[in-house]
Amino acid sequence: MDAEKPSQGDAEQPIAPDLTPNSSSRDEADGMEGVVNEFLVESYENLDQLDRDLVQLEQNPTEKSLLGSIFRIIHTIKGTCGFLGFSKLESLSHVGESLLSKLRDGELLLGPESTSALLTMVDAVRQILSCIENERNEGTVDYSGLIETLSRLTKGQLAGGKPTAPPPPAVPASAPEKVIESLSLAPVPATVATVASHEGMAPVKIDTRASDAVDDAVYRQQNPERRQRDERKTDVATASIADNSIRVDVSILDKLMNLVGELVLARNQILQYSSSTEAKDSGFVATTQHLNLITSELQEGVMKTRMQPIGNIWSKFPRVVRDLALACNKQVRIEMEGKDTELDKTIIEAIKDPLTHIVRNSVDHGIESPDIRVANGKQAEGCVLLRAFHEGGQVIIEISDDGGGINTERVRDKAVERSLITPEQAARMSERELVNLIFLPGFSTAAKVTNVSGRGVGMDVVKTNIEKIGGSVDIQNQLGHGTSLKVKIPLTLAIIPALVVTCSGDRYAIPQVNLLELVRLDQQVARGVEMIHGTPVYRLRGNLLPLVYLSKELALKQVVEKNLKDGDAQFIVVLQADDRQFGLIVEGIADTEEIVVKPLGKQLRGIKAFAGATIMGDGKVALILDVLGLAQNARVVSEVRDRALTDNKSADTKQATKTQNMLVFAVGDKGRMAILLDMVGRLEEFDRTSIESSGEQDVVQYRGEIMPLIYLSKVFHTTYKEQLDKPIQAVVYAEKGKSVGLVVDQILDIVDEEVTVKSNSNRPGVLGSAVIKQRITDLVDVREVIRTEIPNFYDQQVLALQGRS
């Protein structure tokens, strides 16, 4: 049977059943079809409302208005399903109604058992409705157990144990792929099953990299009612404020969105003609401007229609938290701020599951059991706080709990145990890095895999799904006090502002959301480019920025075959992906434009470097770069968060205390030494063949001067097995226009840490020792070393002789 029969977007009220006799029995059937569909849509809405109301009611068992509204809803359902001949549904809602009648009249008081039973009934009703929707019958599940429980409760008998749940029906195939794990305890399995059958489509769709337009098309095809229902939910939510809402079929909105997208493209083309026309017909230009304005406003308006308040997803959480807390024997309350924050519909779909998972994690792992909390001086009831707000073109969603926080020791041990990282890496990791280990696939610290969580599929999928829509996840953690997750997502997917760059004769678009700044790469700046571990880096206001050549990443020849050292300017586009910054070297920069993101075909979807394509103002196609994908390909953002190259000063940790940037290197086989990064002029590599000698001093020709080399391993009397085939690594220190190359055995790391130096005046050339990254490291007294090794370095005469500026 064709389920595609929405009510054409014109009904503010449910259509009364058409009872006029019809000559054609087909019309009759269609009429009934429509009525049943109406019933389903309204009932789903009502059930969601019931969920919310029941949970609220549990907190305020005598709240009259709630009781009244709940009773009315169930009464309505009972009435309609009786008329439509759904007998199972009728008997179920009948017994629920009886219970509610007694509650409403004050004969019984609502307790946790009754609430659970009623919630179970709500789930059962959903289950039956889903069967009606998909198979046009009420299904084969036996609800007599539930009915009996409800009857008993109605009679005031509380004994008899927990209400038995309806056995979950055969779970549809999409369920195992879901992010949400199923609960084994009473009220919840039905929820999962029914969630799976309606909403199971959503997580599966997330796997594809199509744009929302394509997703919507397929989605629409498969689940028209659900889309409609969601759309209507928004209207119902605001209807109480002003009855100025109207039900619109989502497919119409999608079509509008597409058309606006096309209009934006056409507008871009006209703008281009307008700016290039020789005649500069003022009438034409004026009209173009007008068109431009109108298009922008239209675009804004249509995008608004697709915006939904995040409260729509959040509304399910009170129930989720309640059920989960009950299951874990914890007390948890949920607080929400910023329910009205609006997001594009497709983004809401995409983040629903990740958010749910995070909330469940907070309850399950974060909040401790009441006795532990009290023992630690906390309130027995834990709190999960959800906050949403707009900031800087993005939507920020924070989920924090006041639980026990993440135990980074356990995290580290677990990660090593599962061979996700090596012990050496583990030893070098900072707190922040350790906390982020939970995002690795296959990670879970739950001692046993319960039905609630612990199956280890959680956080990495959450992160992936959020990143797929261009968002990011960040964790703040305080052991003993709680954890806070910050999810950042872009406001919209379809039309984005982008910077157009050129490389090897082609144009590429970079989404502005990833763009931090532009640096013109001329000869002067080019001198600032250094090499670390074989990667070019540029020092931007104290931070080292790894550089990536776009032409290299795309395996293209540079049209202009010049490297950095020549006269022509190129550009460094400073980008941010996943909280890491890097610089992308491109040949030219064009304008910033608003572009319509179009998905790439299946043949090209696997290329990580591209997020889609767009049509430029001149009608040609340009590819849109996927900044995160590009960064990962270039290995400036590694999967395992190895932070050897970039230093990230995060806002949370220890801003008050001073940290130092230090370069750590190996001297000899075991020694570790460090120099303040400020003292480091450059890091260079020299071929051994370029080492010459001047008297007894080894020197190299370096940038037009003769630079002496000091072998630190010799200075500090350590032995090191020299690798004679590899170039030497030197830290160039410059003072008063003269440079010295300090030869080290291996550059290890650049750290930004708070260092306390234990001064050690015994050893010459050493300022003191400190513990850096948990290893004892000596700080080199550079000036003293130079004074000792090259006595005439500071000699004025020699300066004059060298004749260098």
Partner 1 sequence: MVDTKQFCTFYLDDLMFGVEVSKVQEVLRFQEMTRVPLANAVVRGLINLRGQIVTAVDLRRRLELKERPDNQLPMNVVVRTLDGVVSLLVDEIGDVLEVSEESFERPPDTIAGVTRQLVLGVYKLQESLLLILDTEKSVKIDG
Question: Rule CB under 8 A: which residues touch partner 1?
Answer: 262, 265, 506, 554-556, 598, 600-604, 606-607, 609-610, 613-615, 619-623
Minimum gap (Å) between residue 633 Cβ and partner 1: 9
| Shorter beta-carbon distance to partner 1: residue 630 or 751 | 630
Minimum gap (Å) between residue 601 Cβ and partner 1: 4
One-letter identity of residue 50: L
> Measured between alpha carbons, how far is 225 from 221 in angstroms, rounded to an integer?
10
Minimum gap (Å) between residue 258 Cβ and partner 1: 10
Identify the CA nearest to 439 among candidates 361, 343, 330, 333. 361
| Shorter beta-carbon distance to partner 1: residue 41 or 609 | 609
Identify the CA nearest to 457 among candidates 172, 176, 173. 176
Minimum gap (Å) between residue 271 Cβ and partner 1: 16
By residue count, the chain amounts to 805
| Shorter beta-carbon distance to partner 1: residue 506 or 642 | 506
> Measured between alpha carbons, how far is 252 from 248 in angstroms, rounded to an integer?
7
Helix (H) / strand (E) element for 226: namely helix 224-239
| Shorter beta-carbon distance to partner 1: residue 128 or 596 | 596
| Shorter beta-carbon distance to partner 1: residue 212 or 789 | 212
> 654 — phi, psi (to 5°)?
45, 55
Minimum gap (Å) between residue 213 Cβ and partner 1: 11
| Shorter beta-carbon distance to partner 1: residue 554 or 710 | 554
| Shorter beta-carbon distance to partner 1: residue 264 or 351 | 264
> 309 — phi, psi (to 5°)?
-70, 145
Alpha helices in 760-804 (DSSP H): 782-789, 796-802
Minimum gap (Å) between residue 556 Cβ and partner 1: 6
> 695 — phi, psi (to 5°)?
70, -125
446: which residues sit within 8 A by CB, 6+ positions away? 365, 453, 454
Angle at 582 between CA 635 and CA 350, to 5 degrees: 75
Identify the CA nearest to 525 among candidates 483, 472, 465, 570. 570
Helix and strand counts by DSSP (H, E) for the chain = 25, 30
> Measured between alpha carbons, how far is 50 from 529 in angstroms, rounded to an integer?
63
Minimum gap (Å) between residue 441 Cβ and partner 1: 21
Minimum gap (Å) between residue 608 Cβ and partner 1: 9
Are the beta carbons of 147 and 92 closer than 8 angstroms?
A: yes
SS3 per residue for 151-169: HHHHCCCCCCCCCCCCCCC
> Measured between alpha carbons, how far is 439 from 579 in angstroms, rounded to an integer?
15
Do β-strands 515-521 and 570-577 pair in parallel, antiparallel, or remain unpaired?
A: antiparallel
| Shorter beta-carbon distance to partner 1: residue 605 or 783 | 605
Angle at 563 between CA 558 and CA 565, to 5 degrees: 160
> 508 — phi, psi (to 5°)?
-135, 145
- The tokens for 654 are 């220890």
243: which residues sit within 8 A by CB, 6+ positions away? none
> Measured between alpha carbons, how far is 379 from 373 in angstroms, rounded to an integer?
6
CA separation (Å) from 766 to 107, 572, 664, 671, 750? 84, 39, 14, 13, 19
Minimum gap (Å) between residue 461 Cβ and partner 1: 22
| Shorter beta-carbon distance to partner 1: residue 423 or 606 | 606
Minimum gap (Å) between residue 492 Cβ and partner 1: 19
| Shorter beta-carbon distance to partner 1: residue 25 or 603 | 603
| Shorter beta-carbon distance to partner 1: residue 85 or 606 | 606
CA separation (Å) from 351 to 49, 81, 683? 21, 34, 44
| Shorter beta-carbon distance to partner 1: residue 613 or 744 | 613
Are the beta carbons of 783 and 772 closer than 8 angstroms?
A: no
Minimum gap (Å) between residue 262 Cβ and partner 1: 5
Q: What's the order of all strands across the beta sheet hosting 610-615?
A: 588-596, 495-503, 506-511, 621-625, 610-615
Minimum gap (Å) between residue 256 Cβ and partner 1: 16
Minimum gap (Å) between residue 201 Cβ and partner 1: 19
| Shorter beta-carbon distance to partner 1: residue 392 or 606 | 606
| Shorter beta-carbon distance to partner 1: residue 272 or 425 | 272
Minimum gap (Å) between residue 701 Cβ and partner 1: 39
In whole angstroms, how large is the CA radius of gyration of the chain? Answer: 33
